[in-house]
Amino acid sequence: MTTGVEIKREVREFYNSIGWQQVGQGLYQNARYEDLRPVSQEYLHRCHMRVARFLPKQGVSLLDAGSGPIQYPEYLEYSRGYARRICLDISIQALREARSRIAGHGRYVVGDLARLPFCSAAFDGVVSLHTIHHLPPQDHEPAIRGLYRSLRPGGRAVVVYSWGKRSPLMRLLRPLVWTAQALIQLYQKLTHRSSDPASETGNQPGEARQGTYTFRHPYGWFRNRLGDLPEFEIRVWRSVSTGLLRACIHRRLFGASWLRLLYWLEERMPHLFGRWGQYPMILFRKPSGQNVAPRSAD
Ligand SMILES: C[S@@+](CC[C@H](N)C(=O)[O-])C[C@H]1O[C@@H](n2cnc3c(N)ncnc32)[C@H](O)[C@@H]1O
């Protein structure tokens, strides 16, 4: 059985040697799991900006736990009103890249999100994006409680997570994605286009998908284990997967308009899409005027 220490070593080595290596101008290997086509850009931008909506606009310190290289321009917005951004990551390569982006605005800490090396109530805002699922399952709760502990009274945290294959919406839409993928392949064959996945998937021809360890708890687990955190909420960050975007959203098939409709629906039913969609945002706040410690992790 793989231990927690081995998992973290594997994840660290992956991000040091593969994930945060640049494969193009400002483009990381890791970004190949994202849909970077222009047709999806507006939707992705608006989803990124949802995070900023729930953070305090200003403060002294923002903690970015599992910062990576701060790879998207929208990420810079989160700490615009803060004196500094504390980037914590298990990968030194991530932090080197983050420093090349925000230089003196940042402080850079190599560390483990499940054992935060900061005193309590140190941050006005906390973000942790697409990172908790890289931790061993037993570390998810202590990691999130650690983020809570590190918040100042009145501070707020935004954690972006993924339900992975458990997302009911993505399960429901899987036949549609498979059909669309098959039609794309057929079209490419008929038009003698090399099955160049780069145009549809972002991968280079012949390139194998490389990844590292992930584990996702279900919605009910979060509600049961962490629902006692003050102002705990699960809302939508983005309800569809990269696979669905690449297979089903195309410029000539009014892709941008479909995504505008989807975003509109997500805004109207944020909790439903947060529960059923692919990527939820987990929100909590430390009440003002106190340093409340809800029950600690087992
Ligand atoms: C998928 S990337 C996300 C990076 C960034 N938050 C983003 O959204 O682009 C996950 C990041 O979490 C970091 N990470 C994984 N396990 C960690 C741990 N136990 N402690 C701190 N950082 C960790 C990885 O090194 C990597 O930079």
Compute the distance from residue 226 Cα to the ligand 1 centre, in Å: 21
Cβ–ligand 1 contact at 112 (below 6 Å): yes
Hey, which of 7, 90, 92, 212 would you mutate to test ligand 1's pocket, going by the most ligand atoms within 8 Å of its Cβ?
Answer: 90
CA-nearest of 281, 9, 21, 34 to 159 is 281
pLDDT at 290: 60
Two tokens, residue 191 = 């038009």
Share of the chain above pLDDT 90, in %: 83
* Residue 50 contacts residue 281 (beta carbons within 8 Å): yes
Which atom of ligand 1 is nearest to 128's Cα? 6
Radius of gyration of the chain (CA): 19
Residue range 35-79, pLDDT digits in tens: 999 999 999 999 999 999 999 999 999 999 999 999 999 999 999
What is the model's pLDDT at position 205?
37
Q: pTM of the prediction?
A: 0.91
On average, the pLDDT of the chain sits at 91
Antiparallel, parallel or unpaired: β 233-238 and 106-110: unpaired
DSSP secondary structure letters along 154-205: EEEEEEE---GGG-HHHHHHHHHHHHHHHHHHHHHHHTT----HHHHHSPPT
What's the 278 CA to ligand 1 centre distance in angstroms?
18
Note the pLDDT of residue 202.
43
In this prediction, residue 295 carries a pLDDT of 54
| Contact (CB, 8 A) for 97 and 69 | yes
Q: Does the CB atom of residue 90 touch ligand 1 within 6 A?
A: yes
DSSP 297: P
Among 16, 85, 89, the mutation site with the greatest number of ligand 1 atoms within 8 A of its Cβ is: 89
Residue type, 214: T
pLDDT of 298 strictly over 90: no
Q: Whose CA is nearest to atom 1 of ligand 1?
A: 130
| 201-253 residue pLDDT tens | 444 433 445 689 999 999 999 999 999 999 999 999 999 999 999 999 999 99
Residue 145 scores a pLDDT above 60: yes
pLDDT at 208: 44
Distance 255 CA to ligand 1 centre (A): 30
* Count of other CB atoms within 10 angstroms of residue 191: 7
**Residue bearing the CA closest to ligand 1, atom 13:** 66
Q: Is 29's C-beta closer than 6 angstroms to any atom of ligand 1?
A: no
124 CB near ligand 1 (under 6 Å): no
Which protein residue has the closest C-alpha to ligand 1 atom 27?
68
- The amino acid at residue 279 is Y
- Determine the pLDDT at residue 210: 66
Is the pLDDT at 152 greater than 70? The verdict is yes
Give the distance (Å) from ligand 1 centre to CA of residue 252.
Answer: 35
Nearest-atom number in ligand 1 for the CA of 64 is 6
pLDDT class of 296 with cuts at 50, 70, 90: low
Instruction: Give the rounded percent of residues in the chain with a pLDDT score beyond 70.
Output: 91
Query: Does ligand 1 come within 6 angstroms of the Cβ of 130?
Result: yes
According to DSSP, residue 3 is labeled -
Over the stretch 158-195, which tens digit does the pLDDT of each residue have? 999 999 999 999 999 999 999 999 999 998 888 877 54
In 3D space, the residue among 192, 165, 158 whose CA is nearest the CA of residue 51 turns out to be: 158
DSSP H helices in the chain: 4-14, 38-54, 73-78, 92-102, 140-149, 168-190, 197-201, 219-226, 242-248, 255-268, 270-276
Inter-residue contact 247 to 181 (CB < 8 Å): yes
- Measured in Å, residue 88 CA sits from the centre of ligand 1 at 9
Question: Minimal CA–CA distance to 164: which of 80, 204, 221?
Answer: 221
156 contacts 165 by C-beta, under 8 angstroms: no
**Residue of minimum CA distance from atom 11 in ligand 1:** 66
Q: Is the pLDDT of residue 33 over 60?
A: yes
- pLDDT at residue number 294: 58
- Measured in degrees and rounded to the nearest 5, phi and psi for residue 284 equal -155, 165
